[in-house]
């Protein structure tokens, strides 16, 4: 493995890991602050709810939409964080010269 290749693998791996972890941390922090994440089944007739652990709370439509979109984005960003971790683990295991 060349140094240039390793540099880019590390850069992409760190970026994916960082974005995925930051997204997850922000998701958890917002869910704690507002009382949960979006509840698809409970929101209707102009009333929007977030829920966690069996407790629901009514929130504004904007906050509900933010929570919904961020929940869906976690489907992509969390696995990307795992891919970034695997990339970093693979590069650090091989070293600069490509040997195991």
Q: Select the more confidently predicted residue: 67 or 91.
A: 67
Give the model's pLDDT for residue 40.
Answer: 76
User: How many residues are given for the chain?
Assistant: 100
CA angle 96-87-19, nearest 5°? 125
**Whether 96 contacts 6, CB under 8 Å:** yes
Give the model's pLDDT for residue 72.
Answer: 93
Provide the token pair at 10. Answer: 């590390």
- Cβ neighbours of residue 16 under 8 Å, at least 6 residues apart? 80, 81, 83, 84, 87
Task: Tell me how far apart the alpha carbons of residues 86 and 61 are, in angstroms, rounded to a whole number.
Answer: 38
Q: Select the more confidently predicted residue: 28 or 1.
A: 28
Task: Tell me how far apart the alpha carbons of residues 4 and 63 are, in angstroms, rounded to a whole number.
Answer: 44
In angstroms, how far is CA 31 from the centroid of its own chain? 13
Task: Tell me how far apart the alpha carbons of residues 33 and 26 are, in angstroms, rounded to a whole number.
Answer: 10
| Whether pLDDT at 32 is above 90 | yes
- Give the global pTM: 0.78
Give the model's pLDDT for residue 2.
Answer: 79
Give the model's pLDDT for residue 14.
Answer: 95
């Amino acid at each position: 493995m060349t140094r240039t290749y390793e540099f880019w693998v590390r850069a992409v791996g760190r970026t994916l890991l960082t974005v995925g972890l930051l997204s997850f941390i922000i998701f958890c922090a917002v869910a704690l602050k507002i009382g949960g994440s979006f509840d698809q089944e409970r929101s209707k007739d102009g009333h929007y709810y977030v829920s966690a652990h069996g407790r629901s709370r009514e929130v504004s439509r904007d906050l509900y939409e933010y929570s919904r979109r961020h929940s869906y984005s976690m489907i992509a960003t969390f696995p990307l964080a795992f891919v970034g971790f695997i990339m970093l683990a693979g590069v650090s295991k091989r070293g600069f010269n490509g040997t195991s």
